[in-house]
């Protein structure tokens, strides 16, 4: 997805739109319909009105759960196509039939529109032009209702963090500083399972949660594996999805079971200061690059350079934050290559970090709503290094 022009504001897209996807994996389809469907189906917006082509299995449910759309029968269209001599009337052929019926010559499709469907449409409707683009740019500006959905997902995230911290506090320090829980090694895998179970009980679905200690935490996307140890920083990065709304939460804390080294304490303080600077400057009209540059400046000022040490990247070498919504990573972005401008209603993560092999990694992540004035912070889970 390309970055939007720096001076542009997202507006509702009045153009005709075609989506062929399932809504469990396509955020655009879920946004358009508001219902979870595990198998692909067709959404067509024509002159501002949405219509869904559904199988007999989903027809009645779609009529109830997507009342803002006209629901049409897949089986009836397929029967019509068979009478016209079409042997296999799949979704591509059905889309062609709809495009011809509504005399559509140009239509927008998501940038991840299936290549197979595009080929079928090109062969069956050569006069139709498919324009790949961001079909719902308004998704970036969250409504009050969407913010409530995000807060619900963040509540699940906080429950996961609370359970993780409580479990770490209950652990004992064993030989080699390994953490023991009820006499058995407490591993990243075990703690991740505890987190996922707690979130599941709250109606959320968590996957790929990061529980990374020691040097593993120096790779920001290492999920973590094996025994956790005392006196080392452990990064807990949790990003569950609400099974009801489809919106994501995302929050990170770094903790040490036991005593943190002086070097880790300094890293932690620097990350906290950088995060606060970022949050305070985020408001409507500020560029993502400007925020990211300010975070880098804080780290340089405090003596935490970003460089390659013995072949490893060290310091702060990822983006400061990203949009959050029906996808875990949405636009806009705050990073070294960002051309995005923050606007009121953007919901953003703010997640600076510092990573030094041999010392460990520290990252703090909160979620905020951008406003014209002071940014609204949606997350409130405590920040405590030593537990």
Q: Are 97 and 81 in contact (CB under 8 A)?
A: yes
Calculate Rg over the CA atoms of the chain. 24
Q: Are 200 and 207 in contact (CB under 8 A)?
A: no
How much is the pLDDT for 10?
A: 53
Q: What torsion do the CA atoms of 8, 13, 17, 21 make, to the nearest 10 degrees?
A: 70
DSSP designation for 201: H
Q: How far is CA 121 from CA 16, 74, 135, 164, in A?
A: 16, 17, 18, 50
The reported pTM is 0.93
Nearest alpha carbon to residue 140 among 286, 379, 330? 330
Full set of structural domains in the chain with CATH: 17-138 (3.40.350.10), 144-377 (3.90.230.10)
DSSP designation for 142: -
* pLDDT by residue, tens only, the chain of 387 residues: 333 433 345 556 679 999 999 999 999 999 999 999 999 999 999 999 999 999 999 999 999 999 999 999 999 999 999 999 998 899 999 999 999 999 999 999 999 999 999 999 999 999 999 999 999 999 999 999 999 999 999 999 999 999 999 999 999 999 999 999 999 999 999 999 999 999 999 999 999 999 999 999 999 999 999 999 999 999 999 999 999 999 999 999 999 999 999 999 999 999 999 999 999 999 999 999 999 999 999 999 999 999 998 889 999 999 999 999 999 999 999 999 999 999 999 999 999 999 999 999 999 999 999 999 999 999 999 999 999
How much is the pLDDT for 172?
A: 97
């Amino acid at each position: 997805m390309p970055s939007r022009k720096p001076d542009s504001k997202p507006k509702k897209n009045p153009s005709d739109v075609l989506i062929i996807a399932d809504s469990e994996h396509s955020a655009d389809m879920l946004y358009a319909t508001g219902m979870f469907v595990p198998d692909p189906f067709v959404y067509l917006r024509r002159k501002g009105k949405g219509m869904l082509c559904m199988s007999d299995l989903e027809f009645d449910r779609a009529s109830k759960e997507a009342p803002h759309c006209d629901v049409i029968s897949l089986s009836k269209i397929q029967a019509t196509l068979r009478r016209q001599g079409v042997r296999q009337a799949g979704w591509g052929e059905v889309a062609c039939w709809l495009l011809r019926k509504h005399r559509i010559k140009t239509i927008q499709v998501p940038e991840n529109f299936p290549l197979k469907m595009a080929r079928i449409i090109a062969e069956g409707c050569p006069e139709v032009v498919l324009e790949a683009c961001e079909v719902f740019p308004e998704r970036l500006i969250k409504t009050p209702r969407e913010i409530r959905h995000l807060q619900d997902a963040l509540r699940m995230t906080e429950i996961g963090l609370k359970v993780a911290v409580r479990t770490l506090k209950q652990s004992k320090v064993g030989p080699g500083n390994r953490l023991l829980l009820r006499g058995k090694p407490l591993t990243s895998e075990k703690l991740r399972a505890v987190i996922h179970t707690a979130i599941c009980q709250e109606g959320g679905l968590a996957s790929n949660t990061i529980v990374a200690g020691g040097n593993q935490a120096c790779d920001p996307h290492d999920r973590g594996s094996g025994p956790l140890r005392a006196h080392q920083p452990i990064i807990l990065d949790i990003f569950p999805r609400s099974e009801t709304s489809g919106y994501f939460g995302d929050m990170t804390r770094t903790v040490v079971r036991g005593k943190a080294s002086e070097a880790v304490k300094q890293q932690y303080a620097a990350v906290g200061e950088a995060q606060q600077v970022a949050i305070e400057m985020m408001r409507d009209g500020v560029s993502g690059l400007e925020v990211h540059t300010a975070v880098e400046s804080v780290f340089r000022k405090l003596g935490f350079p970003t460089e390659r040490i013995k072949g490893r990247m060290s310091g702060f070498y990822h983006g400061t934050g990203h949009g959050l919504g029906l996808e875990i990573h949405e636009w806009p972005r705050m990073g070294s290559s960002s051309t995005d401008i923050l606007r009121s209603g953007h919901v953003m993560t703010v997640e600076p970090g510092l990573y030094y092999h041999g010392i460990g990694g520290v990252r703090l992540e909160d979620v905020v709503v951008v406003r014209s004035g002071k940014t609204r912070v949606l997350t409130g889970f405590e920040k405590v290094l030593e537990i």
